[in-house]
Amino acid sequence: MAPQRETILRVENIAKYFPITRGIVFQTKIGEVKAVDGVSFDLAKGETVGVVGESGCGKSTLARLIMRLEHPTRGQVFYQDRDIFAMPGSALRRLRRNIQMVMQDPYTSLNPRMTVGDIIGEPFEIHRDVAPRGDRRRKVQELLDYVGLNPEHISRYPHQFSGGQRQRIGIARALALRPKIIVCDEPVSALDVSIQAQVINLLERLQNELGLAYIFIAHDLSVVRHISDRVAVMYLGKVVEIGTEDEIYGRPTHPYTQALLSAVPVPDPTARAHRDVIRLEGDVPSPANPPSGCRFRTRCWKAKPICTEQEPPLTAQQADPHLSACHFAELRHVVA
Amino acid sequence: MSSPEESTTLAKPRSLAADAWYDLRRSPIFWIASIIVVALVGIAAFPGLFTSADPKACSLDFRFAGPGPEAPFGYDVQGCNVYARTMYGARSSIEVGLFATLMAGTIAFALGMAAGFYGRWIDTLLSRSLDVIASIPLLLAAIVLLKRLSATGGSTGVWSVAFTLGVLGWPVAARVVRSSVISAKQQDYVQAARMLGAGNGRIMLRHILPNAMAPAIVVLTIMLGTVIATEATLSFLGIGLQPPAISWGGSINDNSAYVRTAAGPLLWPAGFLAVTVLAFIMLGDAIRDAFDPRMR
Amino acid sequence: MTDIQIQLDRVADDAHLLDVRDLFIEFHTRDGIAKVINGVSYHLDAGEALAVLGESGSGKSVTAQAIMGILDIPPGKIVSGQICYNGRDLLSLPEKERRQVRGKEIAMVFQDALSALNPVFPVGWQISETLRHREGVARADALRRAVELMELVRIPAAKQRLRDYPHEFSGGMRQRVMIAMSLALSPKILIADEPTTALDVTVQAQVMDLLAELRRELHMAMILITHDLGVVADVADRIAVMYAGRIVEHADVHDLYAVQGHPYTKGLIDSIPRLDHKGQELATIQGLPPSLMDIPRGCPFHPRCPYRKDPICSTQVPTDQRLASGTRTSRCHFAKEVLDGTAA
C-alpha cells in the first residue's frame, strides 16, 4: 500500500432494507429484507478493495448504493468528504464523472439497438463539456484501442462481439469520463476461464496507468485475492471480517471466512489430501429473516449461547489485529 | 497494449432490426401479406388509377346487370358499378384503419410509457382505467359513441368513425407498451445510462423506446386489420359510414337481402374485406416471428 | 442402503463400460452448419470418474446429450461415430430400447435444478414416479424408496420433506433432490453437467463432496462436465480437455495438473488466479475460441497458440500423440516438446 494513504471514498454504517409488501391497491408492509445492514469501510486513491460473499450477502446492493441507484435506509457514503446522498443535482452530475461501474452481465449491460460508438460516446453526449462534438468519434476510437478492441469496429452492434469483448466495451464506457473510482460488480464471473484472465489483466493495467481505485465485488475468492489490496467478507448484509489481502487469506480469524476459503476448489489434485477441510451445514439463511445475534451462528461449529444473544462487534481481535466480528475469533491457516 | 481481438462474427454491422429483416425476407407469409397491403394502399390512395368509372353514377337501368368492360364485377341492386365501388370502398377502410390505429398507437405509447416508466400510483391509475375501458365490448361502445356523435350534429364520416375506434382500441396496445417498457427499464443498460448521469428523457427515448417498440408495432398492425373489420361491421349495421360515403360494409348491407338472386355484389366487397383483414393479421404475425428472439 | 443394489457387469477385459468412438455432430442453423463435435473418443470403466473440461462452445455438453439420447435432432445431427454401452452401440438402438438405457443404466444431473424439477408436484412424488413408472413399484414402496434416496443424498428430515415442493428447498437441497432422482434406478453411470455452477461456494463444496461419496458407496462411474479446473482437481480420476469440438488432451488428473502436454491446457491452467498465492500478471491465452461455423484449418488452436510453427500447424490437423505415461494423449504436433518444456 502507498505510504501516503489518501481516502477518497468512505462508507459509513450504511444500510438498505427492502420492504416486503402484500396487495396491489392497498399495500401493506409485512416484513423487510435487510440486504445491507450497517456496513462501513473506506477506499484510498489507487487502491482495490475486494468484497466477497455468497448470494444474498448484500454485495450487489452495496454497489448500487455507492452508485446512488438506491437510497439508503440509513448511513452515508462520502466521496471526498461530501455525502453523496445529500448532493444537489449539479454536484451529482459531477459525481457521476468520478464514480463509474462495470456490470456483471456483458449481454444485458449494453443497449442492443445502439452501435458501439454510440454506447461509448453516450457519456460525452450527457456531459457535453468533456469533449467537443467534433472530437468525440476520435475519443471513442482511442478508448476502443485502449481497452484492446479494434477502433474500426466503432459502428458494429453489441451482439457482434463475444462476451469478453462486450465486457471491454463496458469498461471503455466506464472509462470515458475519466473516473477516479470504478465499482466492478462481478466483472468476470460471466466469462470463460481463458477470457477472465484477459479482462483481469486489463483492469490491472488500467489501474496502474490511470491511478484508478476499484471496489471489486465478486464471489470468486481466487480472483479477489489476485486483484485486491484489502478484502471485506460479507455475510447476510454485514461485513464479518475485513483486512489486507494477506490478513484475510493468510490469517483469517472469522469462522465464515475460514469456511469460505476452505470450500474453494484448488486446481491442484495433490492438495486434495492435505487441505484443511471445513464443511458448513446447509445454505445461507434468508436475509428476510436473519438469525438473531451473530448471523452466522446457525451454520457455525463454534456457536455458543452468547452467539444467539449478542451480536459480535467488528473489532480488532487478540488473535490478529485486523477487524473481525466473532465472539470466538481465532487464527486458523486454511490456505497453504 | 494487447492486440485487438478479431471478431468471429460477421464483418458488417448488423442491428437487431437488420437481423429481423433478414428473417422477414425469407418468410413467404410476409411477402404475400405485404404485396396485398401495398396493393390495397395503392388502391386506397389512387382509386382513379384502377377504375375510370364513377362509383356514384348509379342507374336503376343497370340493376343487377352482368359484367361489362367498365364493370368487371357487374352492377348491384342500385345499379352501381360494383368494381368501382369496391375500389373506392378500399379508401374508407384503409383511412379509418390507419387513422384509428395511429390514434390508438399515440395514446398507447404515451400512456403505456408513462405507466411503465414511472410506476407507482401513475401505473396503478392508468392500469385500472385501462382495465375498465378494455372490459367494455368494443362494438357496443362504438355504437353508443357513434350514435352520440351523430345526435350532437356531427356527421358520421371517416373521421368520427376513426376517432371512435381509436379511442376505444388503445388499451390492448397500451398494455403491451407498458409491459415491454417495464422489462426494458430493468435492463442493465438502462442502469448504466443512469449511472452516467442520463436524465429521464434520454433514458426513455434512447434506451427504452427503441427496445420496447417491436411488440407494440406488431399489436398495432394486427389491430389495423381488426379496426377495418369493425368499421365494416358498423357500416353494415348502418351506424358507421353513412351514404353517400362508399364503404365495403355499406355495400354488403345494401346487397345482403339479394344474396340468393345476385351474390356477386355482396361477395366482392366481402371478399376484399376478408383478404384485407387477413393480410394485416398475417403481416403482424410475420413481424412478430422475426422480432421474437426465441425464434432465432 | 440395501435396496439400492450394486451390480457390476463383468464384461470382456478389453471392453469398456462406455466407449465413445470417433463421434461427429453438426448443428444446422440459419447461418450455416456448426461443427460442434469433430471426432471425439473417450471411454469410461466401471466406478471411474472422468472429467470433461471445456469452455462454452467446446462441445462438452453436446457429447453428453448424445450419450443420453436427448440431443435435439434437428437442428443437431449425428454425422458418424459410435457410443457403445456394454458393447452395444446406443446410436443404432431403436428408441424403445434406448429409453431402457436412459435413467436405468445412464442417468444425468443438470446445472439448473429449479427448471429440471416440476414445480407443481411434491419432490417425493417426483422421485417415486420414476420408480413406479419404470419399475412398476407399488406406490407405498416407491415412496419408501424415495425417502431412502433422499437420505442417501443427505437431505435432513427426509420423511417430513417428502411432501414439499421444489421451491420450498434451497438451491443446494434442490440439487440433492435431483441427484436422488437420478439415482432412483441405480444407474451404472452418472453424468453431471455443471452440477454446482449455479451454487454458492460453500454449498458447491457440499454437493461435490456428496457426489464423490456416492460414487464410492455405489461404485458408480461418473462423467463430470465442467469449466472449473478447481472442481475437477478435487473429484476426477482422469480428465479430457475439449477445444472446438475435439479432445485436445487426455490424461490422469495428477499428471495433467503437474505438467501439460497441450498448449491450450497449459494456457488454461496458467491463466487462473490461485487462491493459495497472490500472483503477478496472469498469463493469458490471446484471442477468442473459433466460431464453430468456421474452424481454422490445420490445428484449430493454432491462431491462439504461442508454440505454433508454420506451415505444419496451419495446414495439418494434429492427431493424438501418445505421451510417456500410459494413456496420456495430446493433439498437438509438438506435444512432447510442450510436455518437456522444450517447445519454443
Residue numbers of the domain that contains B183 = 40-46+63-295
Q: Is residue B192 part of a domain?
A: yes
Q: Answer whether B5 sits within 8 Å of C290, measured CB to CB.
A: no
Strands (E), chain C: 18-29, 32-44, 49-53, 76-85, 88-89, 106-109, 189-193, 221-226, 238-243, 246-252, 321-322, 329-330
Q: Does B186 reach chain A within 8 Å, measured CB to CB? A: no
Q: Is residue B102 part of a domain?
A: yes
DSSP result, C8-49 = -----TT--SEEEEEEEEEEEETTEEEEEEEEEEEEE-TT-E
DSSP result, C266-307 = HHHHHHSPPSSS--SSPP---S-PPPTTSPPSSSTTGGG-TT
Distance CA A196, CA A34 (A): 32
Q: Does A113 reach chain B within 8 Å, measured CB to CB? A: yes
Q: Answer whether C291 sits within 8 Å of B8, measured CB to CB.
A: yes
Q: Answer whether C286 sits within 8 Å of B296, measured CB to CB.
A: no
Could you tell me which of C294, C296, C301, C297 has the C-alpha nearest to residue C32? C294
ipTM, two decimals: 0.83
Q: How confident is the model at residue C14 (pLDDT cuts 50, 70, 90)?
A: low
Substitution target in C200, C231, C235, C242 with the highest count of A β-carbons within 10 Å is C200
Burial of A22 (0-12, 13-18, 19+ CB in 10 A): exposed
Q: Does A195 reach chain B within 8 Å, measured CB to CB? A: no
Distance CA B84, CA B53 (A): 6
Distance CA C169, CA C123 (A): 10
SS3 at position C344: coil
The CA angle A104-B204-A160, to the nearest 5 degrees, is 45
Distance CA A266, CA A145 (A): 35
Would you give the distance in Å from CA B264 to the centre of its chain? Answer: 27
Q: Is residue B19 part of a domain?
A: no
SS3 at position C135: helix
Q: Which chains would you list as touching B if contact means 3+ CB atom pairs under 8 Å?
A: A, C
Q: Does C163 reach chain A within 8 Å, measured CB to CB? A: no
Q: Peptide bond preceding C75: is omega within 30 degrees of 0, i.e. cis?
A: yes
Query: Using an 8 Å Cβ cutoff, are C211 and C222 in contact?
Result: yes
* Long-range CB contacts for residues C126-129, cutoff 8 Å, separation at least 24: C126/C177, C126/C181, C127/C177, C127/C180, C127/C181, C127/C184
**pLDDT tens-digit readout, B130-148:** 888 888 888 888 888 888 8
pLDDT for A9 equals 93
**pLDDT tens-digit readout, C93-110:** 888 888 888 888 888 888
- What's the structural domain count of chain B? 1
Number of residues that this document lists for chain C:
344
Q: Which chains would you list as touching C if contact means 3+ CB atom pairs under 8 Å?
A: A, B
pLDDT in tens, chain A (336 residues): 445 788 999 999 999 998 888 766 667 778 888 899 999 999 999 999 999 988 888 888 999 999 998 899 999 999 998 899 988 888 888 899 999 999 988 888 998 888 899 999 999 989 888 887 888 889 999 999 999 898 888 988 888 888 889 999 999 999 999 999 999 998 888 888 888 888 999 999 999 999 999 999 998 888 899 999 999 999 999 999 999 988 998 899 999 999 988 888 877 777 766 777 888 887 788 888 888 889 999 989 988 898 988 899 998 888 888 999 999 988 888 876
CATH of the domain at B260: 1.10.3720.10
Q: Answer whether B296 sits within 8 Å of C291, measured CB to CB.
A: no
Q: Peptide bond preceding C290: is omega within 30 degrees of 0, i.e. cis?
A: no
Q: Is residue B264 part of a domain?
A: yes
Contacts of A193 in chain C (CB under 8 A): 55, 227-229, 268, 271-272
**pLDDT tens-digit readout, C281-337:** 788 888 888 888 888 888 888 888 888 888 888 888 888 888 876 678 888 888 777
Percent helix, percent strand, percent coil in chain A, to nearest 5: 35, 25, 40
**pLDDT tens-digit readout, A193-208:** 888 888 999 999 999 9
Averaged pLDDT, B154-168: 79
Q: Which chains would you list as touching A if contact means 3+ CB atom pairs under 8 Å?
A: B, C
Distance CA C73, CA A8 (A): 58
Handedness of CA C148, C154, C155, C160 (dihedral sign): positive
Distance CA C59, CA C53 (A): 10
Q: Answer whether B206 sits within 8 Å of A114, measured CB to CB.
A: yes
Distance CA A120, CA A139 (A): 9
Could you tell me which of C128, C31, C111, C97 has the C-alpha nearest to residue C64? C111
CB proximity list for B196: less than 8 A, separation 6 or greater: A96, A100, A122, A123, A126, A127, A173, A177
C-contacting residues in B 5-64 (Cβ below 8 Å):
5-6, 8-9, 23
Q: Does C38 reach chain A within 8 Å, measured CB to CB? A: no
SS3 at position A218: strand
For residue C31, the one-letter residue type is D
Q: Is residue B176 part of a domain?
A: yes
Q: Is residue B180 part of a domain?
A: yes
Query: What is the set of domains in chain C, with CATH numbers?
Result: 18-236 (3.40.50.300), 243-340 (no CATH)
Distance CA A115, CA A109 (A): 13
Distance CA A28, CA A23 (A): 7
Query: Using an 8 Å Cβ cutoff, are A220 and C228 in contact?
Result: no
pLDDT for B1 equals 32
Phi, psi of B245 (to 5 degrees): -60, 140
Q: Is residue B171 part of a domain?
A: yes
Q: Answer whether A161 sits within 8 Å of B7, measured CB to CB.
A: yes
Q: Is A51 left (phi over 0), alpha (psi -120 to 50) or beta?
A: beta
Alpha carbon distances (Å) from C191 to C60, C114, C236: 12, 18, 13
Q: Is residue B124 part of a domain?
A: yes
